[in-house]
Amino acid sequence: MASKDEIEKLEEELRRTEEILELVTRQMPSVYWIVDRDLRLQRTGGAVEQMFGYPRDRFVGKTLHEAHAVEPSNTDPITSHERALAGELVHYETEYCGKLGAVSVGPYRGRDREIIGVIGTCADVTTARQLERRMVDAQRAESLGVLAGGLAHDFNNLLVAILGNAELGMRELDEGKSPRAAIEKIRLAGERAAELTEQLLAYAGRRSAGKSRIEPAQLVEELLHILSLPKEIAMEVDVSPKLAVRGDPAQLRQVMLNLINNARDAVDGHGVIRIRASELQHTGEVDGDDVLEASAGSYVCLEVEDSGPGMDAETRRHVFEPFYTTKAGGHGLGLPAVLGIVRAHGGGIRVNASPGARFRVLWPAADPPGRTVLVIDDEDLVRDVVARMVEDLGYAALTAADGESGLLLIDRADAVLVDLTMPRMSGSDVVSAVRARRPGIPIVLYSGYDRDGHGRVEADAYLPKPFRIEALERTLAKLLPLRSV
């Protein structure tokens, strides 16, 4: 058993330790507090008065509900403290009394390790965040300078080509020669200017995002089929055909194409390019690799990784800026276009630059289709576009090239879209057969005219060809409302 002198020495050491900790928290500056299981403040300390302008014991004895009723913050502290009482360590930022604070709350345990309350800390990060914003503004100004310089350079070159060839064409006309070659070069320069504008619009996120259902596995397979990659580059692909995203197919194709081309350039003719995709439930927390932060939600993470040398920190910082490029013949618009397209779709981008480079695009996942529509049409082009319209409206689509094959799929459908005029088995015959097998299923009949003179057919709705997607949307919404699954 400790003697009285030993106990007094320990008590003195504890008091000194407490004073040191109190001094440290004031100098940081930061504050701390302890609440019991009823969320009643037992103790507060640190730079309370310096940070918030009121005495450190102002709210001691009051509950968090009472304290924040007097001095509210822009976040709900109750939920985070309740999570801490359940054993969780919670981090968040909040605005309180004109300060921006980085808050951590965690369980406060007694001698038997039982949770008896919550201990919280808050560090003043107001100045740090202001400096970060100034750095971002400075980087944005620097990016605008690069953008303006790049635009001036590229468009000046195009203007030289256009004006020069216009002058040559006029001279050739005066001399009685054909100006065809000069005009062709003017046309090519105009097309290059249009491409440049499209890429700048993509970077700015000014192109429509679209809402089609897209399967990345099929898209990647198509891209790899058309790309001519050297045999020395090994491709490793792991993209499940079950994954689906929503958005504009052409823009997603541009994103993947630009990332694959970037990886191809990075490996310089030999190496490995890995393409992967996986489901991701994102909590909204910021990742250290984030270039474009995504909000909380369901995503498909599309990943392109190369075995190249990677990027240094400076290159990584600039790589998504227009006209910034490390390639001798590059124009620096591929990755900026990726950034703009992903931003327009509400996604995110993460980049790990060493070793190699790993680009991860968080693309919003497609909602599971709630209803399935069977499209029956003997015309390939019509059947394809109607099915795409159906999918664009949020439904799943099944297709059949004639009535007989359509009837084989009828049990998998929630509604039927059928053309009136088809060989062998007409739309009228299909409607009669469907009614016999599934009396309650909604049927939409569409046609330009009744070539075979069937007269009125007992369908649930009729769409005259050509019809717009808005008309199809109204018809399906009435007959087959979408539901979540």
Mean pLDDT value of segment 82-109: 88
Q: Give the Å distances, CA to CA, from 427 to 75, 192, 381, 431, 433.
A: 60, 48, 18, 6, 10
Helices (DSSP H) in 90-240: which residue ranges?
Answer: 126-174, 180-204, 216-226
- pLDDT of 242 strictly over 80: yes
Range from 179-193, 289-303, 360-374, 429-443 carrying the lowest mean pLDDT: 179-193
Task: Report pLDDT digits (tens) over 96-126.
Answer: 888 888 889 999 888 788 899 999 888 888 8
CB 100 within 8 A of CB 8: no
Q: Which of 17-26, 81-90, 140-149, 307-316 has the highest mean pLDDT?
A: 81-90
314-367 pLDDT, tens digit per residue, is 778 778 877 667 665 555 677 888 888 898 888 999 998 877 899 999 999 987
Architecture of domain 21-124: 2-Layer Sandwich (3.30)
- We find that the CATH architecture of domain 372-479 is 3-Layer(aba) Sandwich (3.40)
Q: Which of 45-54, 410-419, 451-460 has the weakest average pLDDT?
A: 451-460
Domain boundaries, the chain: 21-124, 133-204, 213-364, 372-479
* Number of Cβ atoms within 10 Å of the Cβ of 157: 12
Percent of the chain with pLDDT over 90: 23
Class of domain 213-364: alpha beta
Q: Give, in degrees to the nearest 5, the angle at Cα 286 between 281 and 289.
A: 100
Cα separation values, 397 from 199, 213, 409, 430, Å: 32, 10, 11, 18
